[in-house]
Amino acid sequence: MPPAPEPLFTISHLARELGITPRSIRYYEERGLIAPQRTLGRQRVYGKRDRARLKLILRGRRFGYSLEEIAEMIGHTDEAVTEAEQIRQSLRFGERKLQDIRARMEELNQMEQELVAVRDRLRQRLTDIETK
């Protein structure tokens, strides 16, 4: 018995499922991040690999990565990138992102301390003025 054919998805199906626009999906195709098949009528159809890559792209965007960084992590569709290479690259980018986040958190904590100090001084000054 031959194996069941791979399920294929239309652009509108994936857009609805992933909460993005068809235009976004076409843009990711233009950038070489996904490579849908075409029906005889030239309609785009997407396989499980494209769907998985779209999910990785969206996760990368949610974490603040640029499309160039995402492409480096997952590879373009015309590149043969192994899973191990993807993981190593993702770890490198992840470490850099964590360092950036920690630096921003430090800056925000410092800013918060300074704002609290200014607020406290202003409250004290207002109290001094109003009790004269």
φ, ψ for residue 37 (rounded to 5)?
-85, 170
Of the listed ranges 21-30, 51-60, 79-88, 117-126, the least confidently predicted one is: 79-88
pLDDT beyond 80 at 64: yes
Tell if the pTM clears 0.85, that is, is over it. no
Of the listed ranges 19-28, 77-86, 121-130, the least confidently predicted one is: 77-86
pLDDT for res 61: 94
pLDDT band at 30 (very low <50, low <70, confident <90, very high): very high
Domain ranges of the chain: 9-81
Structure confidence by residue, pLDDT tens digits, 69-85: 999 888 877 777 788 88
Distance CA(35)–CA(84), nearest Å, equals 21
Q: Which CATH class is domain 9-81?
A: mainly alpha
